[in-house]
Amino acid sequence: MRVAGAVAGLMENRDLARIFSEIADILEIQEGNPFRIRSFRRAAQIIRDLSFNGAHASQEEPEKLRSISGIGEGTISKIREIAETGRSQEFEDLKREIPPSLLTLLELQNLGPKKIRLLWKTLNISTIDELEKAAREEQVRSLPGMGGKSEAKILKAIEAHRLLQGRFRLDDGIEVCQGLMDYLRLKVKVKRIAAAGSVRRRRETVGDIDILVTCESSAEVIDAFTGYSDVKEVLAKGDTKASVVLSRGLQADLRVLEDESFGASLQYFTGSQAHNVALRERAKRMGYKISEYGLFRLDNGGEKDPPEKVAGESEEDIYRLLKLSLIPPELRENRGEIQKAETGRLPDLIKLGDIRGDLHMHTKATDGRNTIQEMAAAGIQAGYQYIAITDHSKALAMARGLDEKRLLDQIEEIDRVASQISEIHILKGIEVDILSEGELDLSDEVLSRLDVVIASVHSRFNLSRKEMTLRICRALENPNVNILAHPTGRLLTRRAPYPVDLEQVIKTARENRVCLEINAYPARLDLSDVHCRMACDQGALISINSDSHNLQMLRYIEYGVFTARRGWLEAKDVINTFPLEELTRVLKKEEYGER
């Protein structure tokens, strides 16, 4: 499911959402009305995750938006204004009231609107460079509530920010890339078209988009590409190649190819570079030369003979001639895949269709947007055999987390809903906070009544590696815990993982028959590919969960599957591919796969 707005010249949801969240940011820096700020933030979140184009709906089918809780008439008319005029007057006015670079400061960890306002009003700081200078010159410590420690933290945050910059979330990369390819298919006669690079490998973040195409007229396709509505700048435009900058700075490269070398180019430009280097070595050892134009045999006689091209049209041929089984793009990172492909022992990677249910989602009882019934209906729609309702616990006051009493009420409510629905099984669960010493936020007595207990760290990220490891391991030793959610707490392009000894965590999880989550939300993808392979190698089981806060978000499970595939996982490693009976035995800790 995707949202191709740009093909129709419409604003994409992520750009629409960005306007809403930046309005909230500016209002917050200006100490505006907290109620309005919250409502803009909520709208931004909902719009970003819509499964249809919000701009289009605001004009043609506003009822579709009206039916979503958290979206009011004010929001709908603002979306319509943006859809019709390409901008929001309120946003334009607000942007004139502050230096625009202040919004970039918000991307720094631990620096909220209040502090930014203070820095701006007292030290006239509005850019990251100015902030860095002030922190180095020890000017920041003179401000109320700040000290030498705050300066050190700011410098660390700036360093982290520079590392994370310039990369984009995979879902943005895939959606922009597919929007662009759909547009090219509509606009010109293309023969073959494909995404290559990190988008095809489903890497968790992408640096730029790479598209390959064969067609009748390369001039026509290059013109169409550089004329795309979302293009902000044309960086290069040649006969067979062009590069553009799209909105928000994401770059795209287009290469026009001949049919006879399409497969070779697809192989070459899919990468990764490390995989290609290893493949080239292998080719050389076998008497071949490999390039973006094809696979050439070098041993066909004397030096004067031109090398003979033996493959190029299809990627399969290239791997086959190199005596390898076709390596799925997700594995092409030179992490041992070539050796496995040599002997036909590549893993039988998990597929989206293997997923039988989703074990982590929220409802209106806390910070979700939909009811239990609605989530169940969405689960049926997704073809699931089961879902688990796992709202937050009371420590998360912001999310109106459940205390024991409200959780008991919810258990009854789930029984009531379940008695009316036969198509899907609803498991009773909780996402319980891990408190600072590793205690859980709800009593064992109540936790023991649930089918599935997910434990999460949502606070005190600044512990030492040792303290954090102890804290998490202690929680995993609680016999009620089934799944450790988002084990490193990272937010892609925004927040680094907290320091933690994952090997110790994985070991403790396995010993206690606890599963580790791949949180599929595209900003998390936590565990990462490398870590889930590590967990699986050490004998731990994985659960791929959407952590949905509304029914539109269930579709993100796919991103968890991408990460799992990059982590070499098979269906048997992932508990929510199991039939309900088997899953139940794992949740009761009677079994732990075959491990």
Question: What residue ranges bind ligand DGT (CB under 6 A)?
Answer: 197-198, 203, 206-208, 210, 268-269, 271-273, 276-277
Residue 13 tokens, joined: 């949801």
| Chosen from Ca ion, Zn ion, ligand DGT, none, partner binding at 276 (C-beta under 5 to 8 Å by type) | ligand DGT
- Of 213 and 450, which CB lies nearer to Ca ion in the complex structure? 213
- Of 480 and 545, which CB lies nearer to Zn ion in the complex structure? 545
**Min CB(268)–ligand DGT separation in Å:** 6
**Min CB(160)–ligand DGT separation in Å:** 19
Residue 191 tokens, joined: 């023969």
Count, residues near Zn ion per rule CB under 5 A: 2
Q: How many CB atoms lie within 10 A of CB 106?
A: 16
Give the Cα separation of 198 and 166 in Å (integer): 14
User: With binding defined as CB under 5 A, does residue 12 bind Zn ion?
Assistant: no
- Of 196 and 453, which CB lies nearer to ligand DGT in the complex structure? 196
Give the CA distances from residue 469 to residues 430, 465, 500, 506, 537, in Å, rounded to whole numbers and listed in that order: 22, 6, 5, 10, 20
- Of 270 and 478, which CB lies nearer to ligand DGT in the complex structure? 270
**Min CB(530)–ligand DGT separation in Å:** 16
* Stretch binding Zn ion (CB under 5 A), from 133-141, 343-351, 414-422, 431-439: 431-439
User: With binding defined as CB under 5 A, does residue 294 bind Ca ion?
Assistant: no
> Where does residue 415 rank: exposed (0-12), middle (13-18), buried (19+ CB within 10 A)?
exposed
- Cα 204–Cα 207–Cα 208 angle in degrees, nearest 5: 115
- Of 151 and 210, which CB lies nearer to Ca ion in the complex structure? 210
- Of 198 and 488, which CB lies nearer to Ca ion in the complex structure? 198
Q: How far is CA 107 from the centre of its chain?
A: 17
**Min CB(527)–ligand DGT separation in Å:** 20
Among the listed residues 173, 179, 197, 329, the single contact to Ca ion using CB under 5 A: 197
Residue with the shortest CB distance to ligand DGT: 271
Structural element, H or E, at residue 25 = helix 13-29
Give the Cα separation of 565 and 128 in Å (integer): 37
**Min CB(256)–Ca ion separation in Å:** 15
Q: How many CB atoms lie within 10 A of CB 97?
A: 9
Q: Which candidate, 369, 387, 311, places its Cα nearest to that of 552?
A: 369
Give the CA distances from residue 205 to residues 62, 119, 149, 317, 533, in Å, rounded to whole numbers and listed in that order: 33, 32, 31, 29, 18
Q: How many CB atoms lie within 10 A of CB 87?
A: 12
**Min CB(277)–ligand DGT separation in Å:** 6
User: With binding defined as CB under 5 A, does residue 379 bind Ca ion?
Assistant: no
Helix (H), strand (E), coil (C) string for 310-322 = EECCCHHHHHHHC
Structural element, H or E, at residue 168 = strand 168-169
Among the listed residues 230, 253, 441, 526, the single contact to Ca ion using CB under 5 A: 253
| Chosen from Zn ion, ligand DGT, Ca ion, none, partner binding at 431 (C-beta under 5 to 8 Å by type) | Zn ion
Q: Which of residues 535-564 bind Zn ion (CB under 5 A)?
A: 547
User: With binding defined as CB under 5 A, does residue 208 bind Ca ion?
Assistant: yes
| Chosen from ligand DGT, Zn ion, Ca ion, none, partner binding at 236 (C-beta under 5 to 8 Å by type) | none
Map residues 209-248 to x or -, x wherever contact with Ca ion holds by CB under 5 A: -x--------------------------------------
- Of 204 and 547, which CB lies nearer to Zn ion in the complex structure? 547
**Min CB(583)–ligand DGT separation in Å:** 35
Please, are residues 102 and 151 in contact by the beta-carbon 8 Å criterion? no
- Of 49 and 253, which CB lies nearer to Ca ion in the complex structure? 253
Among the listed residues 204, 230, 337, 431, the single contact to Zn ion using CB under 5 A: 431
User: With binding defined as CB under 5 A, does residue 317 bind Ca ion?
Assistant: no
**Min CB(494)–Ca ion separation in Å:** 21
User: With binding defined as CB under 5 A, does residue 151 bind Ca ion?
Assistant: no
Give the Cα separation of 39 and 46 in Å (integer): 11
- Of 170 and 586, which CB lies nearer to ligand DGT in the complex structure? 170
Please report where in the chains the tokens 């996402």 appear, as a residue: 431
- Of 267 and 456, which CB lies nearer to Zn ion in the complex structure? 456
- Of 132 and 374, which CB lies nearer to Zn ion in the complex structure? 374
Helix (H, G, I), strand (E, B) or coil at 218: helix
Residues 6+ apart with CB under 8 A from 264: 290, 291, 292, 293, 294, 295, 311, 312, 315, 318
Residues 6+ apart with CB under 8 A from 281: none
Please, are residues 120 and 90 in contact by the beta-carbon 8 Å criterion? no
**Min CB(215)–ligand DGT separation in Å:** 21
User: With binding defined as CB under 5 A, does residue 330 bind Zn ion?
Assistant: no
Helices marked H in 109-211: 113-123, 128-136, 148-164, 170-187, 197-201
* Stretch binding Zn ion (CB under 5 A), from 151-159, 285-293, 351-359, 429-437: 429-437
User: With binding defined as CB under 5 A, does residue 208 bind Zn ion?
Assistant: no
| Chosen from Zn ion, Ca ion, ligand DGT, none, partner binding at 151 (C-beta under 5 to 8 Å by type) | none
**Min CB(170)–ligand DGT separation in Å:** 9
Residue 271 tokens, joined: 């990468």
Please, are residues 20 and 44 in contact by the beta-carbon 8 Å criterion? yes
Residue with the shortest CB distance to Ca ion: 197
- Of 277 and 352, which CB lies nearer to ligand DGT in the complex structure? 277
Please, are residues 532 and 562 in contact by the beta-carbon 8 Å criterion? no
Count, residues near Ca ion per rule CB under 5 A: 5
Q: Report the relative pairing of strands 542-545 and 208-215 from DSSP bridges.
A: unpaired
User: With binding defined as CB under 5 A, does residue 567 bind Ca ion?
Assistant: no
- The site for Zn ion (CB under 5 A) is made up of 431, 547
- The site for Ca ion (CB under 5 A) is made up of 197-198, 208, 210, 253
